Each structure stands twice: as structure tokens, then as C-alpha cells.
Structure 1
Amino acid sequence: MLFSVIRIRGCLKRRFSSVSCHLFDEIPQRSAHSLFDSFPERGPDSCESIVIGFAKRGNVAEALKFFRGMIGFGIQPTKYTLCSVLSSCSKALDRHLGSQIHARLIRIGYEENLFLSSALVDLYAKCEALTEARRVFDGMKEHDPVSWTSIIAGFAQNGRGKEALIFFKGMLKSEIKPNCFTFASIFSACKEIESAFELASLLHALVIKLGVELNSFVISSLIDCYMKCGEINRAILLFDAAVGRDVILYNAMIAGFSQNSQGEEAWKLFIEMREHGIGPTYFTFSSLLNACGSLAVLQQGKQIHSLITKMGSDQNIFVVSSLVDMYSKCGIVNEARLVFDHSIEKNNILWTSMITGYAQGGRGADGLDLFEQLVKAGMIPDHVCFTSVLTACVHAGFLDKGIAYFDMMENKYNLIPEPDQYACMIDLYGRKGHLRKAKELMEHMPFEPNAVMWSSFLGSCRIHGEIDLGKEAASRLFAVQWHNMVPYITLANLYAEVGMWNEVVEVRKMMRCKGLKKRTGCSWVEVNKRVHVFSVRDGSHPQSNEIYDALDNLILEMRETGYVPKPKYVLHDVDT
């Protein structure tokens, strides 16, 4: 190590910066301050070599630390140093330092430099400062593939797909050829746009037409888009045609199968992946655990947990959050809490996952207690965390506490409530029978009610037999989701419960005219490490006769103990 340091110092003294960068790999422990303090000469060129050396080798923290040190000594950074540091700020999501560098660029007259401006766009976009990213981008006299791709990716990753698509069209008009990273970003944006499948298909054709390399990033983004559109067969064809499948492609397919409730297919692909010697990543484990949670297959989830522990990934915060989510969805909330308690590092995501687990498991009070512990631990709750807290209030029926937490968002944490939090409050008011209050809240929101809010409101109207408000909610849903059969069924059941059979017939006619039919309901159950799938009136299972006999016996036992069915909460058959 001493020999390597001496060689680096010698190279820096003679300004052999390219040689000194290569020598970084010979130092086991790279300390920015010790190297800087031992410099024979502290000039811009030697500092540039060290900063770029750290950055290229992924040591972002040391690169930024070294940069701050050289600024403290009054050494003026070169353009290359500033570009490298901005790239490091992007990776570290250090918007504060990036903004300081931006001010320095303006002060020394570098703001029109193409590469530095592109790096600034990338920084602001990754830090979700889209207004700043747009301002820098619009102020550039010329654009390159990096600046176009950065602005497209920034809007796409922040759920603003339509704007990302507008930028992409602008890029095509400027005759700058999109690269593989551009297409990976725009495929991600497709998921936020209506007619996503048609758009993704057109972009797929454009990739082929322009001769853009179909690498793992492009293919995985396209697979993800097809999967989110429900075009599973398209995704499978794309995966099967891919040459040299790597972990990125396997992860995209496993995640897609998990999102589409095809846990068995996800598991098969995971086994195939391991047979080919491809090691799983944190994302692989998260997707598999999501599949297990969605299907409530506890034994498979436990197997994955064992593998995670064996591979030493049981302290990764991303994986731990997925484990908590899986155990909660499988109804084993106490096991989820054990995983949570054993985690050394706890961030907002993990706290929120555990609060959500309590809420969904019918233990809203425990979820709220955990939120208070989160606050005492010095964590700052975000919008997602408050959504979980309000969900806990909904499931526990805590109206007053829900109102208090909703007000707390803005009054204590300066968080302006977003649609998700308003949706929780509308649901909470509705479930407690305060339908007029729920309607009033929707009317005074700073945005239009969405389909989730109207669906929740319609469900509450059905529970409480509120015909007029229910009709209004249903008509709103028919206008924005005419293809969704659920509001039709809910409205028909609302009419049926109060004996309005003519109106039930009219709803059935509407469904028939629109070609809407009830989807067959399915459920999964895991017995002896095997998952069994059942559907309504299903007789395909080899033990169906025994199952129905057991069900009849259970119904008889329930009646003998005094159980009385409540027809009000039964969905009437409105098949067309």
C-alpha cells in the first residue's frame, strides 16, 4: 500500500494524472483526506485526477468529500472536475451541493457549457427537482442525447409520463437519435399514459427501425411495460427471444409475473435463473416476496426468507420491508413484527410497511402506536406514511383520530394532503355513515375526485342504503370507467337491497349493451406446500365433492350456533 501511495504522489507531482487514476485500484483503503493532506502540490490538475479517480470507481462519498476539501483550500476546480462532481451528486442525490455547484458555474461563466448543463439536468431530474431541471434544460442553447434522456427520465420516473412523451417527440424533431437509455426511460413513461400498450408497440417498432441496441435495459423496460398492460404473452415472447439473458431480464419477468398474480410462474423462473448460475439480487427477492404475499402462500415465503438469510441479505432494508409486507399479507403480523424488530437499520419505508401490516391485519391501534414510536425515534413521516396511518384509522373505525392525523400533516409537518390521503378520509367518513361530510370533502378538495374516491363513496352508499348519493357516484364512475363492471354491480345491489327491481333490470341492460360480464372470482389456498386455485361454482378440483360436503357441514354448524346471515351485505347475482 505504501508503495502505491508513493507512486500516486509521484505521478501527481509530475502531473501524470491518467497514470495516477489507474493506481487507485492498488490502495485497499482510500482515504480522501490522507491523500489530500500528503499532496506535494495542490493544483487543479492533481485534484481533478483524484476526484475523477474516486468517482469512476464508485466511491461517491469520498469524491464529494475530497471536492469539498479542495474548495476549502481555495483550489479552483476545472470543468472536468465539476462535471465529475455533478455526476457524483446525482448518484448521491445531493441536491444541496449540486445547487452550490450550479451557482458557481453561473459565477465563473460555465453555465453555457453543454456537458455541465447536461449534468445539471440529470442531477435535478434524479433529485425530483423537475422545475429546476426544466429551467436548466430550456436555457440550453443546444442539447445532446444526455440532456434529452435526463429530462425524459426525470419526468417518467416521477409519474409524469405525458410530459416525458412530449420531450421525446421534441428529441425526435431535433433529429438527435435516441439511445438505449432514452428508450428505456420512455417505455417506463408509457405506463402512465392511456393506450399504453399501443404506444409501447409503436415505440418497440421505432427501436428496431432506428437500429438501437436491444440491450437488457431496453428489453426489461419493454417487458415491464407489457406486463403492466396485462400483455403477459407479449412479455414472454420478448423474453424468450432475448439473447444472453441476465439478472436484469429475469428480474423484469419475475416482477411482472408477481404483479399479475402469477406467483407459480415467477417461482419457476426463479428456479430456472438459479439453474443457469445467475444469482438473485435484492430486487429478485422483493418481487418473489410480493408474489407470495399477493397469493398468501406462506410456506414459499418462508423458503425465500431462509434463502435470504443464507445469502446474508436479511439486513438489506429493501428486502426487510418486503419480508414485513409478505408476512403481513399472509396474516402473520407477529412474524412481520419480529422481522421489523430484528432489523438494525430502520427507515421510513420499513416503518411504513409495518404500520400498513397492522392496518391491513385489523390491528389499527397497534399501527397507530407504532407511528408514535416512529415520531419518538426522530423519523419524519412522509405522505406515504400518513396514508398508512389513515388506513389504520379506516380499518379500526377511528374517525376522530383520523381527522387529527389528517390535520397534523399540514399543521405539524408542512405536508399538503394529496389524493391518497383525501381518499382515506372519504372512505373513513363514508364507513362511519357521514356520507354528506364525505361528499363535502370531495367538493372542497384542491383537485377533482378520482375513480378510487368515487368507488369508495359508492361502496359506503350501498352499506348505508343512500340511493341518491349512490346514483351520483355511480354516474361519475360510468363516465370515467365505463368498461369497469364493479360500479354497475354495486349500484344494482344497492337497488336490490331496497327492492327497486326495475332499476336493477335497467342496470343489467346497461351492462349487456356495453358487453360487460362479471369476472369469475378466484381464491388461492396453500395446503401441504401446494397452492390450490378455486373459482366460483368451481367443480374442476379432484376433491370438489369432499370440499362442498365440508362446506355444507360448516354452514349447518354455524346455524346451530345461532348465526343469522345478513343479506344486506351479500352481493346479488347480476350476471348478464
Structure 2
Amino acid sequence: MDRSGLQPNEFGFSVALKACRTMHDFVMGDVKNAQKFFEGILLCRSSEALWNKLLDGYAQTCDVEEAFRLFHRMAYSSSSPNIKIMLQVGFEGVTFECEALADTYGKFGLLADACNLFWNLEERDNVAWCALLAGFLQNGEAEQGLNLFIEFLSDGAKPDPFSFAIVFSLCAKSDIEGIGPQVHCSFIKYGFALDSFLGSALIDMYENSGIIWDAYMCFTEVKNKNQICFSAMINNLVFCSINEMTLELFCQMMKLELAPRIPSLSYIVRACADLLMLREGKSLHAYVLKNFNDSDSYSCIENALIELYAECGVVDDAKMVFKVMTMPNEFSWTTVILGCCQMGRFSEALRQCSDMFFAPVIAKLSHFTVVPILQA
């Protein structure tokens, strides 16, 4: 429109800005620029919506100090009556604010405070229930969370898919026998369809219960599988040493053009190591170097690559990966030492042991490391 010589009006600019926001395209703006723009508007007029929008921007970018600084200014602004009411009168009956505060209490581990606030709510909708359930999940109180879910059902409330996802995760951490399949049956009874979000939660639930094939059946029922769903199934299959199926799923994932993330790639590399598939493992190494070399999470795959090369008897390649590691840990050192021993290179294994003791970051010595050292 701009190139055609037509000048956009305020409505055109508004839609274009919304498109930038939806695409997360910050070429023409960021939170700091939003702050400058906000200050300019504040001189002539202000509204609660403007304060909240900028506050939300700081929260999304995890700029905690600026968020609290802005909130403090907002509390004393003449354009923020709702905030003033909240500070002076309290949160009684203000459902949205109470739900947010209950969620915050839960994340800080203040479950008693979260529960007190929750039970004092005049209306408890699914958002409030889910916030409290999530608090129990985050603090490892699975049984209490499941008891709360029973109260949720007894209260006549109808769970939604999001609440079931939290409950599936609670079941995964619970020691109550058979609770997971019962909740799954309840989910089916409500007629909800499995999407990738729910499917991933169900896969983890069944895997933690040791029922890997039920997890796989859930995986097959998921429609429009995404990266997270594939990754959950792949991780669980590798954990159970079902390596051939792991590689099959990886091939399916690539055919669907779902790019795997570093954690999943590390599991796939370990599957190649168990199957002594050196050529395929090297291809994965090249893929990682091409696509993730600048990634902050790259270090999590380095140990898997060291293990691959050591298991396949190419110790020099294992050492090559080891040398570029910034933070080698006990597993890194042990795998290289063990690889040297397996190839009969005992003097080299002892030199690695000596280097470990004098390394800038000293790795903790355990019996896993002592065994190959004694062998050398």
C-alpha cells in the first residue's frame, strides 16, 4: 500500500502494528521503545489500558525490576483506580486479581496462602482451579492436587482440556496405583480430543507408570502431532531402550518437517550409540553443527556425542568433541577415560585422569569414574 503511493491512515497503521505483534517481528520496536512512546503519551493523556499493556510487556520479557518500578508508579497514578482499590481495600471479590495472586503464591511455594485466597473467592472458575492445581504440581504435592481435583468435580465444575493436562501431570508424579488410567477414562468420557499438548502429558503419565505401550497408543491417537509430542514419545522410548522405534519416529518427524530440538536430538544420538550406528550418528552431528552451533543449549548434546564416538570405538572423535566443551562434567570425563580403556589406550586414560584433577572446573569423582581408572 505504501509503495503504491496511497498513504495509510490510523486504521491501516493499527492493523499493520497488530500484524507485527502477532508475528513477533520487533524490527521496528521493542519494550524500550514502547517505554519511550508511553512516556510521550503520558504527558498529555493516560489510561489504565496503557499502563497494563506496558506492564505486560515487561512481564513477558522477564524484566522484573522495570515491571515493579512501573507498577509502583501506576499505584500512585490518577488513571489507575482499579489498582488503588486493590491496594487500599484488598482483593476480596476481585476474581481476576485473586486468581493471579493465588497463582503467584503457588509458584512461590506458599500453598497455604494460595488455598486461603482460593477458598475465599466468591466465584471459582476453571482458571482459578487450574492455578491452584498447578501450584500443587509445581511444589511436588501430587496427592493433595489430586484430592483438590476430586473436590473440583464434587463442586459440580466441568473440567476443560487444560485442567486435564495438569491432572495428567499430577498423576505422573503420584504414587496412587491406577489413578492415571482412571483419569484418562474420565477424559474420554467427557469427549475431549487428544491434541499435542494433552497427548504429551498423557505420554509422560503412562511412561512414569511404566506403561510405555499405552503411552505409544496415546501418541498414535494424537491428531496434528507437533515437536513437543514427538519429543515426549522419543525421550520415553530411549529411556526404555526401544531404540529402533525411536529412530523410526525421528524419520517420521523429519518427513513432517518438524525440526527436532537439541534435547530430543541428544536422545536420538544416544539411540544411535546403543545400536552402534556410527554413520547415522555422524550425520546427526553434522546436522547439529549446521543448525544449533550458536545455541545456548548446545552443551546438552555434547555428552551424547562423546558417548556415541566412544561406544563406536572412535575415541579421537570423542576427544575432539570433549575438547571444545566449555563445562565438561563427571560423565564427560568418565566416558572419554572409559573409551580409552576399551581401545587399550591405558596410558592415555591415565593422562585424562590427571587432566581431570587439574582442570579449571573440577568434576566430582564417583565410583563410575574410579572403575576405568583402576582398570587403566
Q: What TM-score, normalized to structure 1?
A: 0.49
Q: In the alignment, does 2:238 pair up with 1:258?
A: yes
- 1:358 pairs, out of 327, 330, 333, with 333
Give the superposition deviation at 1:207. 0.6
Change (3 A) 1:149 1:69: closer
**Aligned-partner Cα distance in 1 for 2:367–2:301:** 23
Query: Do the aligned partners of 2:206 and 2:212 also contact (CA within 8 Å) in 1?
Result: yes
SS of 1:118's equivalent?
helix
- 1:150 pairs, out of 102, 115, 131, with 131
Give the superposition deviation at 1:182. 1.5
Q: Give the match for residue 229 of structure 1.
A: 209
Matched to 2:245, the amino acid is E
Query: Do the aligned partners of 1:285 and 1:319 also contact (CA within 8 Å) in 2?
Result: no
Give the superposition deviation at 1:205. 0.9
**Aligned-partner Cα distance in 2 for 1:242–1:46:** 39
Matched to 2:260, the amino acid is P
Matched to 1:75, the amino acid is S
Aligned counterparts, 1:118-197, within 5 A:
118-127=99-108, 130=111, 132-194=113-175
Give the superposition deviation at 1:296. 6.9
Q: Give the match for residue 47 of structure 1.
A: 50
Change (3 A) 1:315 1:255: same
Query: Do the aligned partners of 1:145 and 1:178 also contact (CA within 8 Å) in 2?
Result: yes
Give the superposition deviation at 1:168. 1.4
Matched to 1:137, the amino acid is F
Change (3 A) 1:67 1:195: closer
Identify the range of structure 1 (314-323 vs 253-262) with the bigger mean alpha-carbon deviation.
Answer: 314-323
Give the superposition deviation at 1:220. 1.6
**Aligned-partner Cα distance in 2 for 1:272–1:50:** 41
Point out the structure with max Rg over C-alpha.
1
**Aligned-partner Cα distance in 2 for 1:41–1:340:** 55
Q: Give the match for residue 219 of structure 2.
A: 239
Give the superposition deviation at 1:297. 5.6
Query: Do the aligned partners of 1:188 and 1:225 also contact (CA within 8 Å) in 2?
Result: yes
Query: Do the aligned partners of 1:155 and 1:163 also contact (CA within 8 Å) in 2?
Result: yes
Bigger RCO (CA 8 Å, 6+ sep) = 2
Query: Do the aligned partners of 1:250 and 1:269 also contact (CA within 8 Å) in 2?
Result: yes
Identify the range of structure 1 (225-234 vs 135-144) with the bigger mean alpha-carbon deviation.
Answer: 135-144
Identify the range of structure 1 (223-232 vs 165-174) with the bigger mean alpha-carbon deviation.
Answer: 223-232
Give the superposition deviation at 1:254. 1.1
**Aligned-partner Cα distance in 2 for 1:279–1:217:** 17
**Aligned-partner Cα distance in 2 for 1:209–1:140:** 29
Q: In the alignment, does 2:29 pair up with 1:29?
A: yes
Change (3 A) 1:76 1:271: farther
SS of 1:38's equivalent?
helix
SS of 2:325's equivalent?
helix
**Aligned-partner Cα distance in 2 for 1:79–1:287:** 53
Q: Give the match for residue 75 of structure 1.
A: 77
Query: Do the aligned partners of 1:292 and 1:298 also contact (CA within 8 Å) in 2?
Result: yes
SS of 1:279's equivalent?
coil
SS of 1:277's equivalent?
coil
Structure 1: gaps of 5 or more residues: 1-6, 12-17, 83-100, 342-350, 375-387, 398-576
**Aligned-partner Cα distance in 2 for 1:328–1:368:** 21
Give the superposition deviation at 1:170. 1.8
**Aligned-partner Cα distance in 2 for 1:67–1:19:** 30
Q: Give the match for residue 340 of structure 1.
A: 325
Aligned counterparts, 1:475-514, within 5 A:
none
Q: Give the match for residue 40 of structure 2.
A: 38
Aligned counterparts, 1:168-567, within 5 A:
168-194=149-175, 198-292=178-272, 299-311=279-291, 313-328=292-307, 331=310, 334-341=319-326, 351=327, 354-358=329-333, 373=361, 389=364, 392-395=365-368
**Aligned-partner Cα distance in 1 for 2:109–2:321:** 32
**C-alpha offsets along residues 432-475 of structure 1, whole Å, 9 cap, x if unaligned?**
xxxxxxxxxxxxxxxxxxxxxxxxxxxxxxxxxxxxxxxxxxxx
**Aligned-partner Cα distance in 2 for 1:329–1:134:** 49
Structure 1 vs Structure 2 CA RMSD: 4.0
Q: Sequence identity of aligned pairs in percent?
A: 23
Change (3 A) 1:315 1:367: farther
Q: What TM-score, normalized to structure 2?
A: 0.71
Change (3 A) 1:79 1:161: farther
Give the superposition deviation at 1:183. 1.3
**Aligned-partner Cα distance in 2 for 1:336–1:144:** 52
Give the superposition deviation at 1:308. 1.8
Give the superposition deviation at 1:299. 4.9
Give the superposition deviation at 1:271. 0.8
Query: Do the aligned partners of 2:194 and 2:223 also contact (CA within 8 Å) in 1?
Result: no
**Aligned-partner Cα distance in 2 for 1:189–1:215:** 19
Give the superposition deviation at 1:79. 8.3
Matched to 2:61, the amino acid is V
Give the superposition deviation at 1:336. 4.9
Q: Give the match for residue 400 of structure 1.
A: none
**Aligned-partner Cα distance in 1 for 2:279–2:142:** 39
Q: Give the match for residue 344 of structure 2.
A: none
Query: Do the aligned partners of 1:47 and 1:70 also contact (CA within 8 Å) in 2?
Result: no
Query: Do the aligned partners of 1:257 and 1:263 also contact (CA within 8 Å) in 2?
Result: yes
**C-alpha offsets along residues 55-81 of structure 1, whole Å, 9 cap, x if unaligned?**
7xx95346973663463474367588x
Give the superposition deviation at 1:164. 2.0
Give the superposition deviation at 1:270. 0.9
- 1:113 pairs, out of 73, 79, 94, with 94
Change (3 A) 1:277 1:20: closer
**Aligned-partner Cα distance in 1 for 2:334–2:113:** 38
SS of 2:173's equivalent?
coil
Give the superposition deviation at 1:328. 4.8
Identify the range of structure 1 (118-127 vs 220-229) with the bigger mean alpha-carbon deviation.
Answer: 118-127
